[in-house]
Amino acid sequence: MAMHDDCIFCKIANHVIESDYIYEDNVVAAFRDMSPLAPTHVLVVPKDHYADLADGVPAETAAALLHAVDEVAKAEGITESGFRVVANAGGDAGQAVHHLHLHVLGGCRLTDDFA
């Protein structure tokens, strides 16, 4: 599974377009959401293209995504205060960008209307 030329998150994850990166390794990149809903609102995405969590994501990639969430929480100083992870998949979830991404939200009290 490689990069899709017309996918914005493929471009950001692979530095075709630069963004505000919080964490990166060989498998994933994490960068700030352009429309933040909380003081910390970071998107964790794989460098390879998967549409969503139901798109045959390899276990190694899933593990890298979760590791990156932990790294983002540490970098943002929200490990102790708490944070939320959201992954929208498909139309009923309102997924707008069809490249798998985990929203990491924190830095304030999160009510039910966050992501």
Query: Under the criterion CB under 6 A, does residue 97 sit at the interface with ligand DGP?
Result: yes
CA distance 72 to 94: 24
Query: Under the criterion CB under 6 A, does residue 33 sit at the interface with ligand DGP?
Result: yes
The CB-of-26 to ligand DGP minimum distance in angstroms stands at 21
Q: Which of 21, 52, 95, 114 binds ligand DGP (CB under 6 A)?
A: 95
φ/ψ of 110, rounded to 5, equals -95, 115
Beta-bridged to residue 85, according to DSSP, are 104
Query: Under the criterion CB under 6 A, does residue 53 sit at the interface with ligand DGP?
Result: no
Closest by Cα among 29, 44, 23, 27 to 103:
44
Q: Which of 31, 46, 69, 73 binds ligand DGP (CB under 6 A)?
A: 31
Whether 103 is catalytic is: no
